[in-house]
């Protein structure tokens, strides 16, 4: 489990110095009774995050409830009296691991943006926003850990801002980028660093690549969340082009380093973190493209992005993440769902109106397959702990409407039947989930459950005008 975490999430979110962590891990097992709570929590969170990618379903079922307890324990420890050990680099590492775990396991994932604000303030209080060269008595190893941790916190802040459609509160900072070195090339006694060229792969490369793309992503967030900014299409096109260039740059890097330990999981994860910014960036003009061909490029980019992030390279670990992941993974799926289903219904209406529905059907078949894939993914997510069944029912009703229009059947009746079938199917999955204890632990009032089934407060792509609502399913568009 530990190795799974270190090979996956740690590749982009540099939180731990791997040799130091392994030494602490061994020290724990040599004398577990005298280990500090800090070390215990760090190890448990790493094991918990690694378990989200484990192939053994029996092991996962047994660990899932335990991981929830570990996350609550870590949050309780972090929220305790502000003693000295609560405001340190080690405590911030626990904070980062806890927030990532909350997103992966849908434990208060909707509140991560708020938590990130607190984490940024804690980081500033111990001067992570100042480069270590301005601080005295810090070893090269500790300086690199501080730079990596600050970069991770800023990345997590940007991702949470996108998910919540809230401003990214990034403070002024002079902290330099982490050095392009492997973890085994630096230790506490190191006095001189020899960073590799930027084009050489190291265990810090992915974090540096994400950092290179951060300025344009922050400008996208500012454009989307600013109260006083009217979105200009020229600005959208410029930011879109810059983000595409960044994406091409890191793909070129990975192509040049094919002989290294880069895996499909790494490529998929990096793509997810960067590409998903495209859909909210273009969504305002994607909606207008239906009536104004000047904005067709936005529609094209949104569709390509949705198709790309929902069709990752085959990888068992990333497939597990798509099924298990909450937070930014759930939000990315919602955004892609909005784009693909809206396009399917728009194409259906257009071809029905001009009488070409049964002639040029290749594109509609492709979109229907994408929706079918989303239904399958939604089923798997419910089977593995998701309690929000709206997506599954929504997709089923859309597909039923499309098929009814194609066959000339009654749309309203077909949609009602598909909704009923979906509810019955999901009810069976939820019962099985409860019986196998996959439901996790109940909400204790301090965190949201990660599901909006109870109050309907969460909507697909909340905060952005993605135009995915029940109106698309109503038979008022001239369909029989």
Q: Render pLDDT for 69-93 as a digit per residue (tens, 0 to 9).
A: 999 999 999 987 766 668 899 999 9
3-state secondary structure of 86: helix
CB neighbours (10 Å) of residue 298?
24
**Residue given tokens 């949201």 in the structure block:** 448
pLDDT class for 452, splitting at 50, 70, 90? very low
* Residue 61, pLDDT score: 61
Higher pLDDT, 173 or 437: 173
Distance CA 336, CA 140 (A): 43
For 132-154, what is the mean pLDDT?
94
- Joined together, the tokens standing for residue 147 give 């730079």
Least confident stretch, 106-120, 278-292, 438-452: 438-452
CB neighbours (10 Å) of residue 376?
12
Distance CA 337, CA 13 (A): 27
| DSSP letter for each residue of 222-275 | HHHH-TT-PPPHHHHHHHHHHHHHHHHHHHHHHHHTTTSS--HHHHHHHHHHHH
106 φψ region: left (φ > 0), alpha (ψ -120 to 50), beta (else)? left
At residue 474, does pLDDT exceed 50? no
Residues 326-358: tens digit of each pLDDT? 889 999 999 999 999 999 998 888 887 777 767
| DSSP letter for each residue of 404-421 | HHHHT--HHHHHHHHHHH
Distance CA 117, CA 168 (A): 9
Among 116, 112, 214, 121, smallest CA distance to 163 is for 112
- Joined together, the tokens standing for residue 206 give 């992915």
pLDDT class for 477, splitting at 50, 70, 90? very low
Residues 202-233: tens digit of each pLDDT? 999 999 999 999 999 999 999 999 887 788 99
* Residue 436, pLDDT score: 67
Residues 412-422: tens digit of each pLDDT? 999 999 999 99
* Residue 349, pLDDT score: 86
pLDDT class for 54, splitting at 50, 70, 90? confident
3-state secondary structure of 103: helix
Distance CA 340, CA 328 (A): 18
Q: Is 399 exposed, middle or buried (0-12, 13-18, 19+ CB in 10 A)?
A: buried
3-state secondary structure of 218: helix
At residue 459, does pLDDT exceed 60? no
What percentage of the chain reaches a pLDDT higher than 90? 68
**Residue given tokens 């309780």 in the structure block:** 76
Q: Is 142 exposed, middle or buried (0-12, 13-18, 19+ CB in 10 A)?
A: middle
Among 335, 333, 279, 276, smallest CA distance to 302 is for 279
User: Are 426 and 393 a contacting pair, CB within 8 Å?
Assistant: yes
User: For residue 172, what are the contacts with CB-CB under 8 A and spacing of at least 6?
Assistant: 129
For 20-43, what is the mean pLDDT?
91
At residue 57, does pLDDT exceed 80? no
User: For residue 358, what are the contacts with CB-CB under 8 A and spacing of at least 6?
Assistant: 406
- Joined together, the tokens standing for residue 1 give 């489990």
At residue 34, does pLDDT exceed 80? yes
Least confident stretch, 10-24, 305-319, 446-460: 446-460
User: Are 241 and 278 a contacting pair, CB within 8 Å?
Assistant: no
Q: What is the DSSP letter of 129?
A: T
At residue 457, does pLDDT exceed 50? no
Dihedral sign, Cα of residue 431, residue 434, residue 439, residue 442 = positive
**Cα R_g (the chain), whole angstroms:** 23
CB neighbours (10 Å) of residue 167?
14
- Joined together, the tokens standing for residue 181 give 């070195």
Q: Average pLDDT of the chain?
A: 86
pTM: 0.86
pLDDT class for 397, splitting at 50, 70, 90? very high
Cα–Cα distances in angstroms (integers) from residue 26 to residues 32, 40, 66, in the given order: 10, 12, 22
* Residue 259, pLDDT score: 80
* Residue 469, pLDDT score: 39
3-state secondary structure of 459: coil
At residue 62, does pLDDT exceed 50? yes
Report phi then psi at 384, rounded to 5: -105, 20
Within 13 Å of residue 3, how many CA atoms lie on the same side as its CB? 1
Q: What is the DSSP letter of 184?
A: G
At residue 4, does pLDDT exceed 50? yes
């Amino acid at each position: 489990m530990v190795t799974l975490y270190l090979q996956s999430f740690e590749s982009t979110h540099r939180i731990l110095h791997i040799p130091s962590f392994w030494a602490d891990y061994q020290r724990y097992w040599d004398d577990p009774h005298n280990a500090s709570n800090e070390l215990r929590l760090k190890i448990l969170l790493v094991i918990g995050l690694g378990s989200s990618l484990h192939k053994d379903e029996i092991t996962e079922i047994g660990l899932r409830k335990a991981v929830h307890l570990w996350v609550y324990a870590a949050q309780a420890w972090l929220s305790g009296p502000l003693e000295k050990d609560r405001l340190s680099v080690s405590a911030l590492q626990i904070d980062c691991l806890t927030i990532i775990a909350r997103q992966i396991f849908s434990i208060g994932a909707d509140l991560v943006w708020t938590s990130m604000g607190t984490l940024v303030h804690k980081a500033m209080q111990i001067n992570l926003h100042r480069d270590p060269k301005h601080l005295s008595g810090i070893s090269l190893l500790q300086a690199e850990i501080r730079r990596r941790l600050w970069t991770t916190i800023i990345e997590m802040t940007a991702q949470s801002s996108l998910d919540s459609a809230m401003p990214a509160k990034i403070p002024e900072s002079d902290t330099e980028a982490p050095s392009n070195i492997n973890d085994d090339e630096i230790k506490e006694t190191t006095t001189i660093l020899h960073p590799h060229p930027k084009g050489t792969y190291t265990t810090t490369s992915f974090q540096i690549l994400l950092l290179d793309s951060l300025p344009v992503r922050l400008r996208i967030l500012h454009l989307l969340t600013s109260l006083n900014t009217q979105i200009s299409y020229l600005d959208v096109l410029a930011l879109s082009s810059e983000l595409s260039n960044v994406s091409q740059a890191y793909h070129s890097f990975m192509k040049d380093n094919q002989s290294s330990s880069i895996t499909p999981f790494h490529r998929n994860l990096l793509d997810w973190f960067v590409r998903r910014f495209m859909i909210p960036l273009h969504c305002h003009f994607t909606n207008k493209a239906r009536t104004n061909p000047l904005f067709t490029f936005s529609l094209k980019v949104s569709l390509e992005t949705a198709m790309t992030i929902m069709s990752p390279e085959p990888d068992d670990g990333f497939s597990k993440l798509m099924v298990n992941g909450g937070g930014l993974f759930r939000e990315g799926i919602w955004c892609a769902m909005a784009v693909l289903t809206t396009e399917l219904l728009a194409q259906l209406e257009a071809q029905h109106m001009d009488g070409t529905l049964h002639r040029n059907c290749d594109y509609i078949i492709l979109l229907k397959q994408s929706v079918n894939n989303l239904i399958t993914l939604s089923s798997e997510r419910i089977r593995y702990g998701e309690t929000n069944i709206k997506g599954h029912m929504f997709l089923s009703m859309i597909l039923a409407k499309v098929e009814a229009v194609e066959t000339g059947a009654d749309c309203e009746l077909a949609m009602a039947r598909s909704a009923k079938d979906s509810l019955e199917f999901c009810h069976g999955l939820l019962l099985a989930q409860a019986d196998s204890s996959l439901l996790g632990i109940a909400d204790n009032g301090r965190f949201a459950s990660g599901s909006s089934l109870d109050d309907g407060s969460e909507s697909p792509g909340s905060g952005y005008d993605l135009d995915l609502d029940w109106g698309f399913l109503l038979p008022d568009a001239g369909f029989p």
